[in-house]
Amino acid sequence: MTSDLSSIPVLVAGKLHEHAIARIRDTFRLVTIEQIDPSLLTAEMRETVRGVAAAPVVGGSFVGPQFLQALPKVEIVANFGVGYDGVDAAYAGKNGIMVTNTPDVLTEEVADSAVGLLISAIREFPRAEAWLRAGNWVTKGHYRVTPLTLRERRIGIFGLGRIGLAVARRLEPFGLPIAYHNRRPVEGVSYTYHSSLKALAEAVDTLICVAPGGAATEKAINAEILAALGPTGVLVNIGRGSTVDEAALAAALTNGTIAAAGLDVFADEPNVPQALLDAPNTVLLPHVGSASVHTRRAMADLCVDNLVTWFSEGRARTPVAETVNVKAR
């Protein structure tokens, strides 16, 4: 442990928040590469880098065994974001490398976005605004009466973690029944638990996905789940795009299997399937759930704070589950 961190090389791989880069530059010895790619590492980087600040996953980049093996002195990967499926945390943990993320500081912002996306999808607010801006209110009259309403809906949350709970708390005052599916029940909540995602979908007509990415949830929301949700069903996804079978979703929106969807995340960002773009009963956002100046700055601070406490105190502020027992070297 040391109080002088300026000699410690920290690698920023990819496009990281500017506030995080500034703090790393002021605190450590900043080194950068354009993307997470072992071939971009110089000999000096391979020999000296002790920390990595990982930008959000873009274009399939991945902090995995090959990248970490190329940095034999790396001790910590500080992930910018609460989701860390862009880092092989299991491999890191087994090899004595700490991985951190940025929970809590974005919870409220993302939960706000989820509720806004839900109401926008149900009440067609973006389409109504487009109607007004196109002059149709003047030339054609009122926008149509929406077939869907939030009234009397039944809410299902897939992934009742920090953000899922914050979404549930926001929806409680609407007087809507709330149920959820997790790998296991959550202690201390009164919401109805369903042991399978299909059982949850059968019991509700509004499914809000806040589940993490990864193999366990890959395309978990598929044609079967969408059919169970039913013709008045609405899907909102603010978790990870990989959790939804996007081809099945596009088909379900087209053929009336479900009524509408609001999506802030996609499987291959920034590429959105044309079939979803073409579907009029969608509200699509470019992964902006946490994208306020306030919240992104807080995320940047926590990302860097994990690096600071690791190298100065030998502890991480927010270790992920797979590396919670990793000790400083």
3-state helix, strand, coil in the chain (%, to 5): 40, 15, 45
Tell me if 298 sits within 8 A of 105, measured CB to CB.
yes
Q: How many Cβ atoms are within 10 Å of 7's Cβ, its own excluded?
A: 10
Any idea which residues carry the catalytic annotation?
240, 269, 287
Q: CA nearest 268: which of 294, 297, 245, 290?
A: 245
The amino acid sitting at 259 is: A
Mark out the alpha helices in 51-209 (DSSP H runs): 65-69, 89-94, 107-123, 125-133, 136-139, 162-171, 197-203
- 3-state SS of 194-230? CCCHHHHHHHCCEEEECCCCCHHHCCCECHHHHHHHC
Please name the helix (run of DSSP H) or strand (run of DSSP E) that holds residue 278, with its range, or none: helix 274-278
